[in-house]
Structure 1
Amino acid sequence: MSRRSEQRREAVFTVYQHDLTGRPLHELFEQGTAMFTRSLAHATTDHQEELDALIGQYAKGWTIERIAPLERSIMRVALLEMLHPDVVPGETPIPPEGAISEAVETAKRFCGSDAPKFVNGILAAVLRDRAASDPPATSA
């Protein structure tokens, strides 16, 4: 597991704690938390309305409130990196497929048995639809 993967997972759990407790993010970070983790968690909560709308749109038959809090947090962080790759200044963005893969691995490790498929389905559908709506690059 790469150091960046661990920092992403730490951001997921911070967003999760924030979601459950309503406590400000700065109170949830442990001393020495990496700037990448802090930036990712803050950006995720800053874009939460947009991210939740997308999750709700693709989670057929599920409201955002019915989705388990940890699964929501996993998808929020992955979607943030997929849709806003420049969110952490000075960092090389993760490819969308990498964000999905890490989200699925986190769901496998920390959520119920149906969670990885659910997380993968929503994130892959967002990626597929975004790719289909982006015009292909043309060379002049």
Structure 2
Amino acid sequence: MRRSDQRRDAAFALYQRDVTGRPLQDLLAGARPFTRDLAEGADAHLAEIDAEIAANAHGWTIQRIAPLERGIMRIAVFEMLHREEIPVPVSIDEAVSIAGRYCGTEAPGFVNGILSAVARKLGTETEAPA
């Protein structure tokens, strides 16, 4: 399974937990290690991640953001903060791609704007190398 699909699955697990209240461990039963690492890592750092998203989602509270978009961004911000081996542009591109496939038409731009702002605030490279 490609890492893109595992990122999607991790975001879906966070989404399902937010919507249904089911324990994350139940939702990750049988998940691949990378999927589990992303979902559990994002969950372990949820307050820090949500603070970064909220600080850059001007006019939006974290709870006002649609649950799937929130899950997608949580995975990407976790990667930006805690997975240095993953280039920031990859995290952003993957999140925007997932949002484009599974969320509304406005979601990719919304996700890209917030994640790019987080990356700028963190002083990380947001452009893919030439």
Taking structure 1 as the reference length, the TM-score comes to 0.84
Q: What 5-or-longer segments of structure 2 have no aligned partner?
A: 125-130
Aligned to 1:116: 108
Deviations for 1:59-88, whole angstroms, at most 9, x for unmatched residues? 1111111100000000000000011115xx
SS at 2:123's partner residue? helix
1:98 aligned onto 2:90: yes
Show the counterpart of 2:39. 41
Partner SS for 1:53: helix
Structure 1: unaligned runs, 5 residues or longer: 87-92, 133-140
Distance in 2 (CA, whole Å) between partners of 1:129 and 1:52 is 14
Quick one: distance in 2 between partners of 1:43 and 1:23?
17
Alignment of 1:64-75 (within 5 A): 64-75=62-73
User: What's the CA shift for 1:35?
Assistant: 1.0
TM-score, normalised with respect to structure 2: 0.90
- Kindly name which structure, 1 or 2, has the bigger radius of gyration based on alpha carbons: 1
Q: Which runs of 4+ in 1 moved over 6 A?
A: none
Q: How many residues align?
A: 124
Would you say 1:126 and 2:124 are equivalent positions? no
Q: Percent identity, please.
A: 55
Aligned to 1:51: 49
Tell me which residue corresponds to 2:99.
107
Q: What is the match of residue 135 of structure 1?
A: none
